[in-house]
Structure 1
Amino acid sequence: MKKLLILTDFSANAAHAEAAALRLSACLSTDVILYHTFTYIPMVLGNMEGPLITADMLFQDSLEQLKKEAHRLNKLGAQIEGCQTHIDCKTGDGSLAENVRDLTSDGEVHMVVMGGRTGGALDHLLTGSDTAAVIRRSHKPVWVIPGAADWDLPKKVVFATDFSFIDMPAVDFLLDLAKNLHFELEIVHVLRSGEVVTEIGSEIAFRKFLVHRGLTYIQVFGEAVHLALQQYCTEHQADLLALSHQHHSFLSSLFGHSESKAAIAQRRLAVIVFPPDYN
């Protein structure tokens, strides 16, 4: 059975994302891996007095906190119709991003879910935080849920594309997800005002790909990509924004401006990002 990997640091934002992921797991009929990583730095105490904190002590403390979170989620799951989610607790030390890479490498994990800062998922994602590192290293899509976001299931999802071939498996993933979550999927491409397109081969190939799946895309025009997409998501009441993280990040071109991050945070918009290694 496929599983959702839920990352937690035991904060309020993480607890919010856990609750959303639990409802998601009920709709997808998946189990859950609740995961926490800790950092162990060996210390030489010298003449200092006091107990020595060992890696084993940190491991046990992390596991106990995870079991408490799992107990809370099990109580919440009892209130969700049809929820039969089994929660497996796992903990580890070292780099969160590298640990997530290992956990998502064997095909068991379907998707990674994590919380975002109070300022919004995109703000959290673009600050050089663990979130950005997790997205770069994960093999599976990462769903970032800001603390202010509703944990209801999305009704409308907007996927932003630049017609790259690596967006194609992301669209297929979202179509499969929509079968269970019953959301409306819209594909959007933003063209800057006055921009002249000289190479249309990728657009034609992407259009054919969409047609075979009964989809089309919406061309949005604007002075700046980030502002045009921001306005589109607001006007069309999108609950979730999806996009691919590319080598020359389309993400940065869309959200490289503080006003965009602030506006989307106000919309309480969650984000799914497809990592570089996703295919």
Structure 2
Amino acid sequence: MKKILVLTDLSDNAAHAAKTAMNLAAKLNCEVLLYHAMTSIPIVPNYAGGAFVTETVSIFAEESNEKLKLLADELQAGSTMGVQITIKNGEGGLGENVKELIRDNDIELIVMGAPAGGVWDHLLTGSETRAVIRNTDRPVLFIPAERDTKSLLRLVLATDYNETDLCALRYLSKWVADYHCLLDIVHIQVGDDAALWRPEQKQVFEIYLTGLNYAGICCHDLRGNDPLSRLNRFCEDKKVDVLAMVNYHNDFFSKLLGTSQTFKALHHLQLPILVFPANFCDETICPM
């Protein structure tokens, strides 16, 4: 059965994200896998206290398991949806561990909690966060610490009509079909991208949407000198629940958000962000 992978550092913010994952799991008919990566303990070669180090690792693993069990119990107690939860921990960085977890499990989606500083700070500066995005081909949902996520029914896909964006659109259209979300596709242009955009790219999207014939999906073009500020206003006016985008390459977030007051404007919204990795393919998750 498909699973939603919840990466948790066992903080309150991560527990908040896990509650969101439970709601999504019920709607998507998935199980939840809670995973905690323990901090690696460096071992000096020929260290005489090797047995002590091994014992310490074991203690950390037991403590991690106990906390994961408590979190799982709390999630089950607070839910009437009957979602099955499994727990797992491991040692080392999240990036490589995520690759292994995807290989061994049928992962639909990855969920992470963002620290109190905000989702955008987390995306731009969090080394573990960027490592997860680089090492997965699954969408990653980042949940702000102070955001009420009981309802995730109003979605926005920010796009430049890239081919990978069409994969993201096909994936999100299944959310629209399965639990009646509203999806706005918003075309934004950053810097010199306007000169590179071709109308036929948009036509591919329009043909796909015509075939769907879903009333809950609409397209918009945001143009002007500051399209990202307009995206901010659009999300605010529409009371958007989730902003989705594709990470085309390693510097995408810096390129998109690293200018003027736009970062501060989007930061203020504190929206959950759904990131599709550059190598995302919806057919990997949802075979046609």
Shorter-chain TM-score: which interval?
0.7 to 0.9
C-alpha deviation, 1:197, in angstroms: 6.0
Deviations 1:28-48 (A, max 9, x none): 221110000012223459799
Does the C-alpha gap of structure 1 residues 106 and 126 become closer, same or farther in structure 2, counting only changes over 3 Å? same
Answer with 186-195 or 232-241: which moved more.
186-195
* Aligned residue runs from structure 1 range 101-180, under 5 A: 101-105=99-103, 108-180=106-178
Aligned to 2:234: 232
Whether contact under 8 Å (1:165, 1:206) holds in the other structure is: no
1:58 aligns with 2:57: no
Q: How far apart, CA to CA, are the structure 1 residues paired with 2:67 and 2:200?
A: 53
1:205 aligns with 2:204: yes
Give, as a single letter, the amino acid of the residue that structure 2 aligns with 1:212. G
Whether contact under 8 Å (1:119, 1:262) holds in the other structure is: no
C-alpha deviation, 1:153, in angstroms: 2.0
Whether contact under 8 Å (2:185, 2:220) holds in the other structure is: yes
Does the C-alpha gap of structure 1 residues 182 and 204 become closer, same or farther in structure 2, counting only changes over 3 Å? closer
Aligned to 1:221: 223
Q: How far apart, CA to CA, are the structure 1 residues paired with 2:218 and 2:27?
A: 27
Give, as a single letter, the amino acid of the residue that structure 1 aligns with 2:206. R
C-alpha deviation, 1:251, in angstroms: 3.5
Does the C-alpha gap of structure 1 residues 259 and 15 become closer, same or farther in structure 2, counting only changes over 3 Å? farther
Q: How far apart, CA to CA, are the structure 1 residues paired with 2:174 and 2:199?
A: 28
Three-state SS of the structure 2 residue aligned to 1:218 is strand
Q: How far apart, CA to CA, are the structure 1 residues paired with 2:122 and 2:259?
A: 14
Aligned to 2:4: 4
Three-state SS of the structure 2 residue aligned to 1:188 is strand
C-alpha deviation, 1:24, in angstroms: 1.6
Which residue of 78, 87, 90 maps to 1:89?
A: 87
Whether contact under 8 Å (1:24, 1:153) holds in the other structure is: no
Does the C-alpha gap of structure 1 residues 168 and 54 become closer, same or farther in structure 2, counting only changes over 3 Å? same
Whether contact under 8 Å (2:2, 2:30) holds in the other structure is: yes
| Residue-pair matches, total | 274
Give, as a single letter, the amino acid of the residue that structure 2 aligns with 1:238. V
Could you say which structure has the higher helix fraction?
A: 2
Q: How far apart, CA to CA, are the structure 2 residues paired with 1:258 and 1:64?
A: 45
Q: How far apart, CA to CA, are the structure 1 residues paired with 2:180 and 2:107?
A: 21
C-alpha deviation, 1:130, in angstroms: 1.5
Answer with 256-265 or 170-179: which moved more.
256-265
Whether contact under 8 Å (1:190, 1:222) holds in the other structure is: no
Three-state SS of the structure 2 residue aligned to 1:105 is helix
Three-state SS of the structure 2 residue aligned to 1:59 is helix
Q: How far apart, CA to CA, are the structure 2 residues paired with 1:84 and 1:255?
A: 39
Does the C-alpha gap of structure 1 residues 247 and 225 become closer, same or farther in structure 2, counting only changes over 3 Å? same
Aligned to 2:73: 71
Aligned to 2:42: 42
Aligned to 2:284: none
Does the C-alpha gap of structure 1 residues 258 and 68 become closer, same or farther in structure 2, counting only changes over 3 Å? farther
Does the C-alpha gap of structure 1 residues 120 and 43 become closer, same or farther in structure 2, counting only changes over 3 Å? same
Which residue of 74, 79, 96 maps to 1:98?
A: 96
Give, as a single letter, the amino acid of the residue that structure 1 aligns with 2:89. T
C-alpha deviation, 1:15, in angstroms: 1.0
* Aligned residue runs from structure 1 range 254-269, under 5 A: 254-257=256-259, 259-269=261-271
% identity of equivalent residues: 35
Deviations 1:179-237 (A, max 9, x none): 33321001010247995567433233333233323355211123123222112111221
Three-state SS of the structure 1 residue aligned to 2:78 is helix
Aligned to 2:31: 31
Unaligned runs of 5+ in 2: 282-288
1:14 aligns with 2:19: no
